């Protein structure tokens, strides 16, 4: 029986982790089809996967276009294929066995929800130990309030209703450093959001951090997104723009400790994206 769920994955030089990522969704309790956009990796994804490549669809790109562009290449196949749901998966993360089944069941019973995420465990790439968790609010109203400031559900955990993408479009290349945030804001103009209050994905974080130029670009594109969907009568819209602008002025070495202190988490030995997965 054909699956109604497509898992899309962008992969660039992920030969060390991609097998584990792919196995985690294929070995889960919910059947799915996996589409991997090989974003001009130095070692082709088919080579890195070995025999596992026969169980997935790999789309090899001639040049590196970045995560959003690579996901769009996969989405072109998926949306033309008539799938009902699209799950996001990163090439270095691990889906828990019941993730897709739980999210699919939720979307089946909540037709107004266009995107559902889950709680997420962040683990140290060097040790495998849990660094901390991100447990966001479950209800759409609270998620919408969070969206004025930053992404309200972890993009790496998201399952999207395919019809929402058919309605609002795919990732926008003009927001290449915050394409996930912009897409979710766009989906939010027509659909509700939700988070499953259960940790269903493990997110790998690297000790290498990110360059200041990359961090600033993410913040800049986040700010542009906030202005694109700005609601002048909503105080949170103003507060979100001001907060992002102020964070852009904070030296990159201070950003992570301040963020973690505000969460009561201390300072881990690894960095995570500005958009907080």
The span from the CA of 211 to the CA of 216, in Å, is: 9
Q: Which pLDDT score is estimated for 126? A: 86
Average pLDDT over residues 50-76: 97
pLDDT > 70: percent of the chain: 87
* 272 has pLDDT over 70: no
Summarised one tens digit per residue, pLDDT across range 192-229 is 999 999 999 999 987 655 556 688 999 999 999 999 99
pLDDT at 7 over 60: yes
Helices 66-80 and 179-187 cross at an angle (nearest 10°) of 40
Task: Please say whether the beta carbons of 83 and 6 come within 8 A.
Answer: yes
- Decide which of 43 and 1 is more confident: 43
* pLDDT one-digit tens code per residue, 247-258: 998 876 555 544
List the one residue out of 183, 242, 249 whose CA is nearest residue 216: 249
The pLDDT of residue 91 is above 90: yes
Which helix (H) or strand (E) element contains residue 140?
helix 140-147
Residue 266's pLDDT band, with cuts at 50, 70 and 90, is very low
What does the mean pLDDT of the chain come to?
A: 90
Instruction: Judge whether residue 231 has pLDDT over 50.
Output: yes
Stretch 55-78: mean pLDDT: 97
How far is Cα 271 from Cα 206, in angstroms, rounded to an integer? 6
| pLDDT of res. 277 | 53
The H-or-E segment that residue 194 falls in is strand 192-205
Region 124-144 average pLDDT: 93
pLDDT at 215: 87
Instruction: Work out the angle at residue 133's Cα, subtended by the Cα atoms of residues 245 and 216, and round it to the nearest 5 degrees.
Output: 25
45, pLDDT greater than 60: yes
* Percent of the chain residues topping a pLDDT of 90: 82
C-alpha to C-alpha distance for 153 and 196, rounded to whole angstroms: 10
* Pairwise CA distance, residues 69 & 15, whole Å: 20
Task: Name the pTM for this structure.
Answer: 0.90
Predicted confidence at residue 276, as pLDDT, reads 56
181 pLDDT more than 90: yes
**pLDDT beyond 90 at 170:** yes
> In sequence order, what are the beta bridge partners of 159?
87, 116
Q: Which residue has the higher pLDDT, 275 or 187?
A: 187
């Amino acid at each position: 029986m054909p699956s109604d769920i497509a898992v899309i994955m962008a992969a660039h030089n992920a030969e060390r982790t991609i097998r584990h990522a792919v196995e985690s969704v294929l070995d889960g309790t919910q059947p799915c089809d996996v589409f991997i956009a090989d974003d001009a990796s130095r070692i082709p994804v088919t080579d890195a996967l070995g025999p596992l490549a026969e169980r997935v669809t790999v789309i090899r790109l001639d040049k590196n276009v970045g995560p959003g562009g690579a996901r769009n290449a996969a989405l072109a196949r998926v949306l033309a294929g008539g799938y009902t749901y699209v799950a996001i998966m990163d090439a270095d993360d691990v889906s828990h066995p019941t993730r897709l089944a739980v999210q699919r069941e939720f979307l089946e019973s909540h037709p107004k929800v266009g995107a559902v995420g889950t709680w997420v465990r962040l683990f140290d790439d060097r040790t495998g130990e849990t660094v901390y968790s991100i447990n966001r609010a479950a209800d759409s109203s609270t998620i919408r309030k969070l969206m004025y400031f930053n992404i309200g559900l972890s993009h790496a955990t998201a399952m999207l209703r395919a019809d929402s993408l058919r309605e609002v479009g795919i990732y926008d290349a003009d927001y290449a450093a915050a394409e996930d945030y912009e897409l979710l804001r766009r989906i939010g103009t027509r659909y509700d959001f939700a988070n499953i209050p259960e940790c269903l994905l493990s997110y790998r974080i690297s000790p290498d951090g990110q360059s200041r130029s990359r961090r600033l670009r993410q913040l800049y594109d986040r700010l542009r997104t906030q202005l694109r969907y700005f609601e002048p009568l909503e105080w949170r819209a103003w507060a979100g723009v001001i907060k992002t602008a102020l964070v852009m002025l904070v030296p990159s070495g201070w950003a992570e400790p301040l963020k973690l202190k505000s969460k009561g988490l201390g300072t881990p030995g690894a960095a995570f994206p500005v958009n907080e997965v």
